[in-house]
Amino acid sequence: DAMVIQNPRYQVTQFGKPVTLSCSQTLNHNVMYWYQQKSSQAPKLLFHYYDKDFNNEADTPDNFQSRRPNTSFCFLDIRSPGLGDAAMYLCATSTIRTGYSSTDTQYFGPGTRLTVL
Amino acid sequence: LAKTTQPISMDSYEGQEVNITCSHNNIATNDYITWYQQFPSQGPRFIIQGYKTKVTNEVASLFIPADRKSSTLSLPRVSLSDTAVYYCLVGDNRDDKIIFGKGTRLHILP
């Protein structure tokens, strides 16, 4: 089945130690997103790729970076994790159609729960 | 991107119909209304989308009045497994991103 896969599901890192989260998709969607979701809060968009074009949200800290080497894969790099970066990180995909048709839905992965010690 | 307002939480009982209303006073002409469901420790999942009047699928119905300034998600005969957070979003395909509001935490009681 076509899907969005995130690895690992659980990640533990130490304060200040770089960590990379990965996302892959078999949907062949041209847009990929990274969200951060803290406990009892709504998902917060960090950035997204429209094909190779990177779009950063204005309030995303510089500590968060992303790479998209090809259509299928997207990575979230946290350069120096702090205790406040402990959260669920969600990857999602969608496809953008032209014209005034309905909005395309986003397909989310299961998330990676990051713990910072 | 239009802002949405939903109740923070709701309780209901198994077998009841649940209606969650979302307010979106500044919805634009080309905006669609989309609802997502999120279970604990999972990513959000698309439930239903509509533009006007009524949309129904195997999971829910979406009622949208003529002025489109609000919408109501209707879940028929809920079960314990419908306990989740429900997010209402508005936007159109010119936006290549969506912004989640606070959502409604629905708790189904036995």
Judged by CB atoms closer than 8 Å, whether chains meet at A100 and B92 is answered as yes
Which of A46, A103, A104 best probes binding to B when mutated, by most B CB atoms within 10 angstroms? A103
Q: What is the pLDDT of residue B62?
A: 97
Q: Other C-beta atoms within 10 Å of A116: how many?
A: 19
Q: How many CA atoms lie within 13 A of A22 on its CB side?
A: 9
Q: Rounded distance, CA A111 to CA A89, Å?
A: 5
In chain B, beta strands by DSSP E: 9-13, 18-23, 32-38, 45-50, 53-56, 61-64, 70-75, 84-91, 104-109
**pLDDT tens string B61-102:** 999 999 999 999 999 999 999 999 999 988 765 566 677 888
Q: What is the pLDDT of residues B31-45, one digit of tens each?
A: 889 999 999 889 999
Beta carbons of A110 and B42 less than 8 Å apart: yes
Q: Residue A114's pLDDT band (boundaries 50, 70, 90)?
A: very high
Digit-coded pLDDT (tens) for A57-76: 889 999 999 999 999 999 99
Chain A from 33 to 92: CB within 8 A of any B CB = 33, 35, 42-45, 48, 50, 55, 88, 90-92
* Residues composing chain A: 117
Residue A95 CB-density burial (10 A; 0-12 exposed, 13-18 middle, 19+ buried): middle
Distance from C-alpha of B92 to C-alpha of A100, rounded to nearest angstrom = 8
User: What is the C-alpha to C-alpha distance for residues A64 and B95, in angstroms, rounded to an integer?
Assistant: 23
